[in-house]
Structure 1
Amino acid sequence: MKGNAVAIVTGASQGIGRATALRLARDFSAVVLTARNEEELQRTAAAVESAGAEPLVCKLDLRKPQAAEVLVKNTLDRFGRIDALLNIAGAVPQTDLFEMTDAQWDDGMALKLHGARRLTILAWDALKASTGSVVLISGSAALDPKPAFAAVATINAAIIALAKAFAEQGIKDGVQVNSVIPGAVMTGRRESFFKKWAPAHNLTIDEAMKKFPEEAGIARFGKPEEIADLMAFLVSPSAKWMTGASVRMDGGETKGI
């Protein structure tokens, strides 16, 4: 695919976003990287360049309405096209349903849902021109909502619905849109969670990391690189007829059909 193909990856400073940016560097000539952490973005950019693609770093907070416009403009000014958009940014607070404030709900939705919505709309004309692809990232909580993860589940379910709506329009406009539903992936954010969660439950870090997969009914945590491989497939020529799909990759955590 290399040619002069350009991909935008949000949340590219860490975790699944960084892994996806590095994976796409094999297939795209340029990878545009955005997140809020400049230092980590520069680390990702160096790795992308080493992998053979030209990076463009755009430090932005996609919770802010104008950020998406800046990102699309910077991309088109530099490369003149957008072939793939991977909406990965968005940490949602894991707070009990009865304890979450309106501000926490709004913050969770501002980045993962509204940030992805605005960016996809603003990039749409360029994606039409390139018959490009969009991926939005959801999460397995959407399929099994619990009170302790109410915001995560609600926002992730909304992401799946949003991707479906975009995909319907994409059939008319020649833009492919899918969503990915990852399960428990071991990222830096999850490691930080266990460092706080384990002592509160009188467990060591190792005990906690063993207990969680067992309770979730999975053999192990996923790796960011595994989700990145799936992302790369979805925006590749091999998956071009696949649109409107919600692809689950969770090690068997979701037990329903």
Structure 2
Amino acid sequence: MDRGLKGRAALVSGASKGIGRAIVQRLVAEGMQVLGIARGGCDVPGAIGLAVDLRDPAGPAAAVAHAVRDFGRLDLVVNSAGATQRGDFLALDDAAWDDSFAGKFFAAVRLTRAAWPALQAAQGGVVHIAGVGGKIASADFAIGGSVNAALMNLTKALADRGVQDGVRVNCINPGSIRTDRLTGRIATVMQEKGLDEAAAAAVLAKSTGVARFGEPEEIAALVAFLASAEASYMQGAVIDIDGGWNRAL
């Protein structure tokens, strides 16, 4: 399906692996010009890769300037960077909180703010990749849940501004997606229970109440949809894509 994205330009953070890398691959396949940024750069064929540390306050503006210089425009920003630290609330110090908010929430704030004039000129959009953990509280995911909840609220606030500026802002909440982090959790179950990978994955999926884990490409497909004209009436949407994990309204 041609989503009408050919020739448009995107900037994707967290582009070196997992969901971010899959998003870059999908947008390149859709015919977009893509700048993928991460601390280690991005080596997706067809995209431009740039090593950027978004914890550095100057990093986001530099990345946006690079994209606008190379592409002459910017139609889409996807904030997919930032793994948050998991662990019991009492075991995590201020540094863990600071690092998680800096790498995910404040990175999204700064990247979006730097890109806003170009997005306004192109009547483009922003997609935040948050996480369903922002809706489902747990003691061992206090940091991640708080960061993701903040991103959801930021989505609504920026969408309000976007109505007058012509910039669409939406948010995706992935559930358990088969990334390096999830693969590590599966490996732990394999070791603890003496199971093979498929059986361990099934046990872990069942423990969260889903039939299977999601794939990064499924998140990337939703990003492509949100970037297209088909989703032009979606503004401030927060979309769970979690296999039914979140059963709350």
**After TM superposition, is the score higher than 0.5?**
yes
Q: Does residue 1:214 correspond to 2:225, yes or no?
A: no
Indicate which of 214, 225, 231 corresponds to 2:217: 225
Q: Which residue of 1 aligns with 2:171?
A: 179
Q: Are residues 204 and 37 of structure 1, via their aligned partners in 2, closer, same or farther at CA, if it must alter by over 3 Å?
A: farther
Displacement, 1:235? Answer: 0.8
Task: Report the Cα distance in structure 1 between the residues aligned to 2:52 and 2:167, rounded to whole angstroms.
Answer: 25
- 1:62-81 alignment to 2 at 5 Å? 62-81=54-73
Following TM superposition, the consecutive aligned residue runs of length 4 or more in structure 1 with deviations greater than 6 angstroms are none
Task: Report the Cα distance in structure 2 between the residues aligned to 1:5 and 1:249, rounded to whole angstroms.
Answer: 25
What TM-score does the superposition give when structure 1 sets the normalisation length? Answer: 0.91
% identical equivalent positions? 38
- 1:230-245 alignment to 2 at 5 Å? 230-245=222-237
Q: Does residue 1:204 correspond to 2:195, yes or no?
A: yes
Q: Are residues 231 and 2 of structure 1, via their aligned partners in 2, closer, same or farther at CA, if it must alter by over 3 Å?
A: closer
Q: Which residue of 2 aligns with 1:4?
A: 7
Q: Which residue of 1 aligns with 2:18?
A: 15
Displacement, 1:111? Answer: 1.2
Q: Which residue of 2 aligns with 1:24?
A: 27
Native 8 Å contact 1:142 1:153 kept in 2 = yes
Native 8 Å contact 1:218 1:253 kept in 2 = yes
Native 8 Å contact 1:32 1:57 kept in 2 = yes
1:67 counterpart letter in structure 2: G
The alignment covers a number of residue pairs equal to 245
Displacement, 1:198? Answer: 4.7
Q: Which residue of 1 aligns with 2:87?
A: 95
Q: Does residue 1:113 correspond to 2:114, yes or no?
A: no
Q: Which residue of 1 aligns with 2:137?
A: 145
Displacement, 1:194? Answer: 3.0
SS in 2 for 1:185: coil
Q: Are residues 108 and 205 of structure 1, via their aligned partners in 2, closer, same or farther at CA, if it must alter by over 3 Å?
A: farther
Displacement, 1:4? Answer: 2.9
SS in 1 for 2:78: strand
Q: Are residues 225 and 103 of structure 1, via their aligned partners in 2, closer, same or farther at CA, if it must alter by over 3 Å?
A: same
SS in 2 for 1:242: coil
Task: Report the Cα distance in structure 2 between the residues aligned to 1:177 and 1:192, rounded to whole angstroms.
Answer: 32
Native 8 Å contact 1:89 1:112 kept in 2 = yes
Name stretches of at least 5 consecutive residues in structure 2 with no aligned partner: none
Q: Which residue of 1 aligns with 2:39?
A: 36
Q: Does residue 1:132 correspond to 2:124, yes or no?
A: yes
Name stretches of at least 5 consecutive residues in structure 1 with no aligned partner: 50-54
Task: Report the Cα distance in structure 2 between the residues aligned to 1:238 and 1:89, rounded to whole angstroms.
Answer: 26
Indicate which of 181, 189, 199 corresponds to 2:181: 189
Q: Does residue 1:256 correspond to 2:248, yes or no?
A: yes
Task: Report the Cα distance in structure 2 between the residues aligned to 1:136 and 1:166, rounded to whole angstroms.
Answer: 11
Displacement, 1:197? Answer: 5.5
SS in 2 for 1:228: helix
Task: Report the Cα distance in structure 1 between the residues aligned to 2:34 and 2:196, rounded to whole angstroms.
Answer: 35
Deviation readout 1:133-171 (Å, 9 max, x if unpaired): 100011111111100111111100001001111100000
2:8 counterpart letter in structure 1: A
Displacement, 1:256? Answer: 1.4
Native 8 Å contact 1:34 1:58 kept in 2 = yes
